[in-house]
Amino acid sequence: MGTEGGNVRVIGGRYRLEAIIGRGGMGVIWRSSDTLLGRQVAVKELAVDETLSEDEAAQQRERMLREARAVAQLRHPNIIVVHDVVLHEGRPYIVMDLLDGGSLADRIARQGPVDPVEAARIGLALLGALRVAHAAGVLHRDLKPANVLLEAGTARVVLTDFGIAQVAGATTLTESGGFVGSPEYTAPERMSGGGAGAGADLWSLGALLCAALTGESPFRRDSLGGVLHAVVYEEIQPPPEAAPLLPVVRGLLERDPARRLGLDEAERLLRAYVATGATPQQAPPPGAYTPTRPDMPAVHRQKISTRVLLVAAALVAAAAGAVLAATALLAGRDGNTPQTPTSSASEPSRTGSASVSPTPTVTVTRSETRTATPRPTAPTGYRTVRDAKGFSLAVPEGFTRSLDGQRVFYMSPRRTFRIGVRVTGTQEGGPAAAQRRAAADGPSTNPGYRDGKVTDTSHDGHDAALWEFTWDGFSTSEGARRTIDLCWEEGGRMYDVWVSAPVSRIDEARAYFDAAVDTFAPSAG
């Protein structure tokens, strides 16, 4: 039953959960003992949405585990070390380093804001962590003071809780009126329901720097609706305390992701300030920091306002009896490409963790009755295709079909995003062996192949393997791409589903991957 000695639980046959040291919307953090290696660790018990059907809950757990395993591959001194991922009695757990020290949020609550030099030092550490994560196709999605740990005695800054703030395959503002994330630190492109890439983490860093310097986010308001309005609509006024780092803060808090300060420039400016005490002045991009620019299409302005009102209305509904549910999730995916046939196609995964959150991750949803279905229906903006190769799945509107031997592709215009499917007979050794054979051939089939990783996992109760890698694309114009490939056997067939996309647009690719995998169904044909 996972217990030992009264109420003390043991998970994974080795991790003894001893005391709760943190609690938030994403789950509970336990101080634990690794009885096998005789060391103390932190174990995060992830929250699972109790309103989901059994099938939906299983899919949610699989996504969380895939994401956790992928983050476990990240190695950087400013990223939490993930030792293990465990599924115990239907609930996911993440085993991490146990750090002596609290979060940045704890420090601000106890001692007040930090000085500009310390804020710049923290910012540089977080940029280093994000650089490694983004290069591996991992987005954080919930960068805030509560997810930044400060190790006692070393001054080391450690980023935790990757990928948990957004339901995989969903936008931040959902069609049902729900909000997922930490609103005071969430980028406006996510608020408005659009695709969000690595730049969304940089916006969150800008809000975090303001919080470190003043004690609170510049978007803190009395209600969630007020926060959303401030993020996507009000004029942004960086606080006076941010003056020493103003070019960095203003550059990061640029609403247009295309004009937002990039990681390299933010790092250069912060290093210059730490070295000289004066930040080099940089004019903000044209049109920055205004709620609605003249060049912003009216339909886009209306979309932003409509979604803000939608969430505000959801809050009123919540007060009248809607459900407030704190949900922790992890997301992630990537894909393969069409031009050169490969011997096999397959897929990968990720995670992070630790500390009490004074600004909880919030999910607001309307109460509704859910009924179990064999497969989720196509999300808004997708269509269900029934392919002659013997399967059906949801693909985004506008994607067109292409055939390359045994491989079927559904591709976006200009082939920026490529969803691939391959159906074959079973193979010797099953999905894991097939994926590892494909990974071994990776350098010969994918130019510039690197960061390849095959992880054993499951899909709808079937043994599966996830292969994830970065490569250079088939032409210099494509640039670096990330591929996520899931392979499993079912009904005497082997199925391979993958998505390939530019590294900089991995968040969109993950949404496509999740929709494809979650809605995929074998069929006769």
Give the chain's radius of gyration (CA, Å).
23
The reported pLDDT for the residue numbered 325 is: 31
Q: Are residues 450 and 318 in the same domain?
A: no
* Gap between the Cα atoms of 218 and 480, Å rounded: 35
Could you say which of 45, 72, 97 is where a domain stops?
A: 97
What is the number of structural domains in the chain? 3
pLDDT at 290: 35
Does 2 fall in a domain? Answer: no
Let me know if residue 4 belongs to a domain: no
Residue 114 and residue 82 share a domain: no
- Do 75 and 169 sit in the same domain of this protein? no
Which region among 16-30, 209-223, 261-275, 435-449 has the lowest average model confidence (pLDDT)?
16-30
Q: Is the domain of 194 the same as that of 302?
A: yes
- Number of helices (H), then strands (E), in the chain: 12, 21
Both 89 and 110 in one domain: the answer is no
The percent of residues in the chain predicted with pLDDT above 70, rounded, is 74
Query: Quick one: pLDDT at residue 177?
Result: 40
pLDDT of residue 284 exceeding 70: no
In-domain check, residue 340: no
Question: Of 274, 308, 325, which residue constitutes the final position of a domain?
Answer: 325
Catalytic residue among 84, 106, 142, 518: 142
Three-state SS sequence of 276-303: HCCCCCCCCCCCCCCCCCCCCCHHHHHH
Claim to verify: residue 68 and residue 145 sit in the same structural domain:
no
Report the alpha-carbon distance of residue 180 to residue 190 in Å, rounded.
Answer: 10
Reported as a single tens digit per residue, the pLDDT across 120-162 is 999 999 999 999 999 888 888 889 999 999 998 888 999 988 7
Please confirm, yes or no, whether 115 is among the known catalytic residues.
Answer: no
Cα 392 from Cα 285, distance rounded (Å)? 45
C-alpha to C-alpha distances, 206 to 107, 217, 236, 419, 473, nearest whole angstrom: 18, 9, 12, 34, 32
Cβ-based neighbours of 439, under 8 Å, separated by 6 or more: 346, 452, 453, 454, 467, 469
pLDDT band of residue 117 (cuts 50, 70, 90) is very high
pLDDT for 523 equals 83
Residue 281, pLDDT score: 62
Contacts for 248 with CB less than 8 Å, ≥ 6 apart? 123, 206, 209, 261, 266, 269, 270, 273, 279
Q: Is residue 1 part of a domain?
A: no
Reported as a single tens digit per residue, the pLDDT across 17-55 is 999 988 765 678 899 999 999 999 999 888 777 777 888
Distance set, CA 314 to CA 171, 176, 383 (Å)? 16, 9, 27
Which residues in 61-154 belong to E strands, given as ranges?
Answer: 82-88, 91-97, 148-150
Identify any residues that bridge with 94 across adjacent strands, giving them in sequence order.
Answer: 44, 85
pLDDT above 50 for 339:
no
Under DSSP, the state recorded for 352 is -
The residues near 191 (Cβ < 8 Å, ≥ 6 apart) are: 172, 173, 183, 228, 231, 232, 304, 307, 308
For residues 74 and 150, state if they share a domain: no
Do residues 377 and 320 share a domain? no
pLDDT given at position 386: 94
Q: Are 174 and 317 within one domain? A: yes
Query: CATH number, domain at 206?
Result: 1.10.510.10
> Looking at residue 34, which CATH number applies to its domain?
3.30.200.20
pLDDT band at 194; cut points 50, 70, 90: low
Residues 155, 60 share a domain: no
**H or E element, residue 218:** none
Say yes or no to pLDDT of 418 above 80. Answer: yes
Position 141 in a domain? yes
Supply the mean pLDDT for the chain: 77
Share of residues in the chain with pLDDT > 90 (%): 42
Short-list 471, 447, 442, CA closest to 346: 442
Higher pLDDT, 154 or 341: 154
112 and 246: one domain?
yes
> Residue 357 domain-assigned?
no
3-state class (DSSP) for residue 24: strand
Of 33-37, 192-196, 239-243, 375-379, the one with minimum mean pLDDT is 192-196
| Domain interval for residue 142 | 104-283+296-325
- The pLDDT value recorded for residue 7 is 59
Residue 353 located in a structural domain: no
Residue with more model confidence, 492 or 524: 492
Helices 199-214, 263-276: crossing angle, 10 deg rounding: 30
Check residues 182 and 227 and name the one with the higher pLDDT: 227
Residues 53 and 169 reside in one and the same domain: no
CATH number of the domain where residue 463 is located: 3.40.1000.10
Q: Which of 97, 127, 152 is a domain's end point?
A: 97
Sheet of 391-396: strand order equals 382-387, 391-396, 521-522
